[in-house]
Structure 1
């Protein structure tokens, strides 16, 4: 008999926590072989991109896997900011190689591509069948996937802890994704030493992804504001802010506020890089449970419509693109000014954790204080001054709104309703900050 929630209150009273196991610390990559073998892997697909493939961290991972007696096949053709086509190519590789497990070494693009390849090679179907509605059909993942160990090399996306895989749907010029708890890696192996050689521009972009993840999850609608699902298995992955996600989000905000500028300014500041990497994983755990909202919904339009921008630190990437962290944070100050009235106390708490002086700030100033601190940090770390600096103008607003509006899975997580007119105003407000 199917489980039901008949007789219970119409509003949600439950949240669930299903975190990815975590291994964190210097030298963690050297233990990959033992971890993979313990999961029953025998033939491993080692996913990475061309840049990471040439770094010592990839050699360490491959040596550890082979020393454990595992057969390793390397896929180093991951596209930075993946597309529907690159997901399909990666899935075809995994299927042809007949692997029984995945290890991903790289940034969010690498980890998300491994998730998609695992899904599409294990349960073959058209990619859009699994993509979030209303863009795709939101077909449930039919069953368990092969084990996947995710190993981030950037202090940003938190993808090692989430069941989300994001990509460019090229023919529609928008970003979208797949969200299902079965996509979560079996283990996150986080070795902060892999971030020590990142260019400053990459540290800044990915670091602001950490901060926006954390602030969005902390300021998301409360889980108790959702309708109770008709059955427990229909409870969404993004459940809204809750006591468990709040703790990780606030600590990630605090760590980012303290260490992001230091990590961008000095590659040799290993303390800053270590704590920023830990903040990224904390933020991933939090937003993977609570959800993100307006800045991320807007970001998919910003990145999806612009493939010409050349970001600092990403010069080696083929072609232009707006890196994900930049596409998110350029919207964030405008978005938090808008959402603050829904819960001024949470916005002020986030601002204080980020390092803002909130002693004389009342509820009416909450959005401005949080937005001002973010803009101050953006300016200090070389982030573009709003959408105008990455090539957009007011004439692009209708197209941006049209691309962002389908991201209802994210927009409904905001603490107040968002209309198409609101989105137009937000994109206009995000054009320039200083």
Structure 2
């Protein structure tokens, strides 16, 4: 079995005004031609304007790509990749949330290996999950939301339209060279964006903290390059996750409802970074695995604060909608950790029995969700019982059953089902 963990995290710069140093950062990286990647809305806002001005002051050539799609798809990835291939950039700067940073990671990965096919590096079983053996260009990730933690992780997630399911690429090579966490960018964050990005922090941290321990993954790979990015819960990720949970529980509601509460929004920015470090090494499980078809099969749902013309279920909402039920289900596999997570987000667990761990975490989480007006259940997102087979079908590609596991594959979402059966002696879910 595995006995080694390999920590992954970007070099991170945190603080007000950090974005103003991007031009100098590019100069120090010897950049000659920079791709500034963002979306249509952000391209007209101060984070991008500050970034571009900083690069311009250093007399560095640059081009702005502003066609990133919120909740990217294989098609939007390919469009960004083609742009990067055509222009021949030697440095990338992503300015935005997880969608922008993930798209920029993909553009960097594939433009630096032009012969690679999209599915070459995509996670098994949808893609081939090949190791990345070529050198990528430097990538600076300027995050403008407090949720995904993509500025400190080696993951890029997208909707794979042919299967109507989300998947992604998880590899250390994708980790940004530098992550910039500048709290100044959060002042204009819309209320619902703050809510759904913030709740993503909560789910990232709980899933990572309750993920299968890294020592239960195996066998140990013969070559370290085959060690997965998502390794399972481990002491280093645990510290980051618990910190993120405590900060989120304290500041999330304030950050959602008061854009002028700079302290709360700054703290959520920091919590997102720590959760990103946590899940970037440990990995998530069922909530994220089931969120992919929830967002991928959307019909008519739209959210205030998101300007996409097409229907859209924000990532944080698609993740959190199943979380109370998921954590009640997974608790028997590791009740102590579920209780510790519940305590970190405000529960009094001093007299709670282990067998009640799932219920306590569920109820504590539900209170937080109600406090920030998160829609309750799949029905609120437009789904009915008739949609269950399609949702299950969309979630199953995320499964990593023991008989399919290879050393290069990460700890994946549905492994919790196997652990649940083993720990409880039950054969049915």
Coarse TM-score class (shorter-chain normalised): over 0.9
Summarize deviations over 1:312-351 as a string: whole Å, max 9, x none.
322x222111110000000111110011111111111111
C-alpha separation in 2, matches of 1:312 and 1:220: 33
Q: Does 1:39 align with 2:29?
A: yes
User: Does structure 1 retain, via aligned residues, the 8 Å contact 2:92–2:139?
Assistant: yes
Contact 1:307/1:322 (<8 A) preserved = no
Which residue, 186, 192, 201 being the options, matches 2:183?
192
Is residue 2:327 matched to residue 1:325? no
What secondary structure sits across from 1:167 in the alignment?
strand
Equivalent in the alignment of 2:285: 293
Q: Secondary structure at the match of 1:406?
A: helix
Count of aligned residue pairs for this structure pair: 410
Q: Which residue does 1:204 correspond to in 2?
A: 195
2:111 alignment partner in structure 1: 121
**What's the CA shift for 1:413?**
5.3
Alignment of 1:155-234 (within 5 A): 155-227=146-218, 228-234=220-226
Q: In the alignment, which of 411, 414, 430 is matched to residue 413 of structure 2? A: 411
Q: Is the 8 A contact 1:123 1:142 kept in 2?
A: no
Which position in structure 1 is the counterpart of 2:45?
55
State whether residues 34 and 68 of structure 1, in contact with CA within 8 Å, keep that contact through their aligned partners in structure 2: yes
Report how far residue 230 of structure 1 moved. Answer: 2.9
Question: Which aligned pairs between 1:14-413 and structure 2 lie closer than 5 A?
Answer: 14-124=4-114, 125-227=116-218, 228-314=220-306, 316-408=307-399, 409=410, 410-412=412-414
* 1: CA distance, partners of 2:330 / 2:223: 30
Q: Give yes or no for contact 2:333–2:419 (8 Å, CA) kept in 1.
A: no
Q: 1:394-415: per-residue Cα shift (whole Å, max 9, x none)?
A: 2111111111011025225538
TM-score by length of 1: 0.92
How far is 1:139 from its partner? 2.0
What is the SS of the residue equivalent to 2:59? coil
5+ residue gaps, structure 1, are 1-10, 420-424, 427-434
Distance across 2 between alignment mates of 1:16 and 1:131 = 21
CA distance in 1, matches of 2:153, 2:119: 20
- Structure 1 window deviating more from structure 2 (366-375 vs 73-82): it is 366-375
SS of 2:94 mapped into structure 1: strand
Cα pair 1:201 1:382 within 8 Å, conserved: no
Shift of 1:42: 1.3
Task: Tell me how far apart the structure 1 counterparts of residues 113 and 226 of structure 2 sit (CA, whole Å).
Answer: 21
CA contact (8 A) 1:344 1:364 kept: yes
Question: Is contact 1:106–1:152 with CA below 8 Å preserved after alignment?
Answer: yes
Taking the aligned partners of 1:266 and 1:416, their CA distance within structure 2 comes to 43
Retained in 1: the 8 A contact 2:81–2:106? yes
**In 1: Cα distance, 2:120 partner to 2:233 partner:** 28
| Alpha-carbon distance between aligned partners in 1 of 2:370 and 2:241, rounded to the nearest angstrom | 23
Greater shift after overlay, 76-85 or 373-382? 373-382
Structure-2 separation of matches of 1:181 and 1:319: 32
CA offsets 1:378-427 (integer angstroms, 9 cap, x no match): 111121101110011221111111110110252255385479xxxxx99x
- Give the aligned partner of residue 7 of structure 1: none
CA RMSD of aligned residues (A): 1.5
Asked if the contact 2:8–2:153 (Cα under 8 Å) also holds between the matched residues in 1, the reply is no
Change (3 A) 1:313 1:344: same
